[in-house]
Chain A
Amino acid sequence: MTDKILKKEEIEKFYLDLSRYFNFFAPTKENGNIVFKKITDPCEIIFDFLNSKVPPKEIVFPRMETLFTYKINGKEIEIEPVNNLNEKYLIFGIRPCDAYSFNLLENFFASGKFQDDIFIEKRKNTILIGMGCNTPRQTCFCTSLDHGGHPHRMDDVDIFLTDLGDKYLMRSISKMGKAIIDKLAWLSDAQRKDVAKAVELSKKAEELIKTKVDLENIAETLKPHFDHPLWKEISENCLGCGTCAFLCPTCTCFDVIDENDHYNNRGKRIRLWDTCQFCIYTTHASGHNPRKSKIERCRNRILHKFSYYPKNYGMLGCVGCGRCIQSCPVNNDLRVIIHKIKNLEKEKIEVKIIAT
Chain B
Amino acid sequence: MNEAAIENKGEIKQWNPKIIAFLCNWCSYAGADLAGVSRIQYPPTIRVVRVPCSGRINPFFIIKSLMDGWDGVVVSGCHPGDCHYISGNLVARRRFAILKDLLDFFGIEPERVQFMWASAAEGERFAVLIKKITKLMRKVGPNDRFKKKW
Residue B68 is within 8 A (CB to CB) of chain A in the complex: yes
Give complex CA distance A263, B64 in Å: 13
Cβ proximity bits A229-273 to B, threshold 8 Å, 1 near / 0 not: 000000000000000000000000000000001011010000000
B53-86, CB < 8 A from A = 68-69
Chain B residues with Cβ below 8 Å from A261 are 150
Q: Give A195 Cβ to nearest chain B Cβ, in Å.
A: 51
B100-114, CB < 8 A from A = none
Give complex CA distance A264, B147 in Å: 14
Give complex CA distance A261, B69 in Å: 11
Chain A residues with Cβ below 8 Å from B69 are 263
Give complex CA distance A264, B150 in Å: 11
Give complex CA distance A261, B68 in Å: 8
Give complex CA distance A263, B150 in Å: 12
Give complex CA distance A266, B68 in Å: 13
Q: Give A70 Cβ to nearest chain B Cβ, in Å.
A: 13
Q: Please name the residue on chain B nearest to A268 by beta carbon.
A: B150
Q: Give A161 Cβ to nearest chain B Cβ, in Å.
A: 38
B111-148, CB < 8 A from A = none
Chain A residues with Cβ below 8 Å from B150 are 261, 264, 266
Q: Give A126 Cβ to nearest chain B Cβ, in Å.
A: 27
Chain B residues with Cβ below 8 Å from A266 are 150
Q: Give A248 Cβ to nearest chain B Cβ, in Å.
A: 29
Give complex CA distance A263, B18 in Å: 13
Cβ proximity bits A263-306 to B, threshold 8 Å, 1 near / 0 not: 11010000000000000000000000000000000000000000
Give complex CA distance A264, B68 in Å: 11
Give complex CA distance A171, B104 in Å: 55
Q: Please name the residue on chain A nearest to B68 by beta carbon.
A: A263
Chain B residues with Cβ below 8 Å from A264 are 150
Q: Give A270 Cβ to nearest chain B Cβ, in Å.
A: 12
Q: Please name the residue on chain B nearest to A69 by beta carbon.
A: B150
Q: Give B18 Cβ to nearest chain A Cβ, in Å.
A: 10
Q: Please name the residue on chain A nearest to B150 by beta carbon.
A: A261
Q: Please name the residue on chain B nearest to A267 by beta carbon.
A: B150
Chain A residues with Cβ below 8 Å from B68 are 263
Q: Give A165 Cβ to nearest chain B Cβ, in Å.
A: 45
Q: Give A64 Cβ to nearest chain B Cβ, in Å.
A: 13
Give complex CA distance A266, B148 in Å: 14
B5-46, CB < 8 A from A = none
Give complex CA distance A286, B69 in Å: 34
Q: Please name the residue on chain B nearest to A266 by beta carbon.
A: B150
Give complex CA distance A266, B150 in Å: 10
Q: Give A249 Cβ to nearest chain B Cβ, in Å.
A: 29
Q: Please name the residue on chain A nearest to B69 by beta carbon.
A: A263
Give complex CA distance A286, B150 in Å: 33
Give complex CA distance A261, B150 in Å: 8
Give complex CA distance A69, B150 in Å: 10
Q: Please name the residue on chain A nearest to B70 by beta carbon.
A: A263
Give complex CA distance A261, B148 in Å: 10
Give complex CA distance A176, B41 in Å: 72
Give complex CA distance A263, B69 in Å: 10
Give complex CA distance A318, B96 in Å: 48
Q: Give A272 Cβ to nearest chain B Cβ, in Å.
A: 15
Q: Give B70 Cβ to nearest chain A Cβ, in Å.
A: 10
Q: Give A80 Cβ to nearest chain B Cβ, in Å.
A: 13
Q: Give A286 Cβ to nearest chain B Cβ, in Å.
A: 26
Give complex CA distance A183, B150 in Å: 40
Give complex CA distance A261, B149 in Å: 10
Chain B residues with Cβ below 8 Å from A263 are 68-69
Give complex CA distance A266, B69 in Å: 15
Q: Give A173 Cβ to nearest chain B Cβ, in Å.
A: 40
Give complex CA distance A264, B148 in Å: 13
A42-74, CB < 8 A from B = none
Q: Give B81 Cβ to nearest chain A Cβ, in Å.
A: 38
Going nearest first, the 5 A-B pairs with the smallest beta carbon separation are A261-B150, A263-B68, A263-B69, A266-B150, A264-B150
5 pairs across A/B with beta carbons < 8 Å? A261-B150, A263-B68, A263-B69, A264-B150, A266-B150
Interface residues of A (CB under 8 A from B): 261, 263-264, 266
Interface residues of B (CB under 8 A from A): 68-69, 150
